[in-house]
Amino acid sequence: MSAQTAPRRRTAAVLNRLGSLLGLVVLCAALAAFNEQFRSINNYLLLLQQTAPIAIIAVGQTFVILTGGIDLSVGSLAALTTVCTALMLSGGQTHAHPIAAWIALPLGIALAVAVGLAQGLLVTKLKMPPFIITLGSFNALAGLALVLSNGSAISVDGAGWDWIYGGDIGPVIPIAITLAIYALASFVLGYTRLGRYTYAIGGNEAAVRLSGVALDRYKIAVYAISGLLTGCAAMMIMAQNLGGSQSNGQSAELNSIASVVIGGTSLAGGVGSVWGTLIGAIVLVGVVPNALVMLSVSPQWNQVVTGGTVVLAVLIDVLRKRR
């Protein structure tokens, strides 16, 4: 990556983020003017709380997309992680030997990391397309979650750890966890070797390989990060629902990818930021569904609006690259 290209990429990332932020501010201002319930503090907190799990998954998706890859398995991986963790917490189908939460939750996250690592190895060592690998994982993991749960939710006792999703102090905890993860991810992308090579791989993978960089190591790392953050989000989802189910994390793959694109990250890789992704997640998962409810629009239109928003974001990305 040349000395002239690096500042240009940073400038593009800043402009993308400012454009997304401006869109969020305008949308919120319009809704607040139309409906006074929208501008209440409680509504804003609820909106951010609802956004938290998808926003965390979208951080890992940002790392992957910045390298020019994609991870379609995050929704199914979140479901499988909640099912396996719930089985450990409840002692399995027989309820014979339940495992303590302080052991079961890290083991669940470790499972998600292992899946991410496996996908990264398949992409790098066997040169398999990320789309095919993660699409296959999407179906395999969803099927495994269905088999292990017998098609029904597995209830768990949240005593001692349900504070992850608010507990007695409302939505403050999930919001704080989300912001901490975003701050850490921003630091990694901006000030570490992993971050620099993540951008460089998406910008010109051939040049990075020819420069002698251990490229596979960094590509495996981003898929492991995606698995790690999906596992963390799964724990948050399980704390919210107090159970594991094959339906947990449903549509997380679409929503996370859409959040990344709406936030200004290019699907071609090399340009974007996690803070833009956070803005995209708030718009897509928080503001838009909230607005549809307050405007008394049928929930059946939610998918239509979400899909239209994704198409519009991709169109903007294509036009921006052509320019």
Determine how many CB atoms are found less than 10 A away from the CB of residue 219. 23
Burial class (CB in 10 A: 0-12, 13-18, 19+), 198: buried
Residues of the chain under the 70 pLDDT cut:
1-19, 93-95, 166-170, 320-321, 323
- Report the C-alpha gap between 117 and 100 in whole angstroms: 26
Return all residues near 68 (Cβ < 8 A) that are at least 6 apart: 201, 202, 205, 268, 269, 270
Per the CB < 8 A criterion, the answer to whether 237 and 105 are in contact is no
Q: What confidence tens digit (pLDDT) does each residue in 218-243 have?
A: 999 999 999 999 999 999 999 989 99
Domains and CATH numbers, the chain: 5-322 (1.10.3470)
DSSP secondary structure code for residue 128 in this structure: -
Element (H or E) spanning 215, and its range? Answer: helix 215-241
Say how many CA atoms lie within 13 Å of 124 toward its Cβ.
22
pLDDT attached to residue 7: 59
pLDDT attached to residue 301: 81
Determine how many CB atoms are found less than 10 A away from the CB of residue 55. 31
Per the CB < 8 A criterion, the answer to whether 279 and 117 are in contact is no
pLDDT attached to residue 10: 59
Q: What confidence tens digit (pLDDT) does each residue in 249-297 have?
A: 888 998 999 899 888 888 888 888 899 999 999 998 988 888 888 778 8
pLDDT attached to residue 315: 81
**pTM confidence score:** 0.91
The candidate with the shortest Cα–Cα distance to 60, out of 218, 241, 256, is 256
Query: Between the CA of residue 281 and those of 55, 243, 263, 300, what are the distances in Å?
Result: 6, 24, 8, 20
pLDDT attached to residue 3: 47
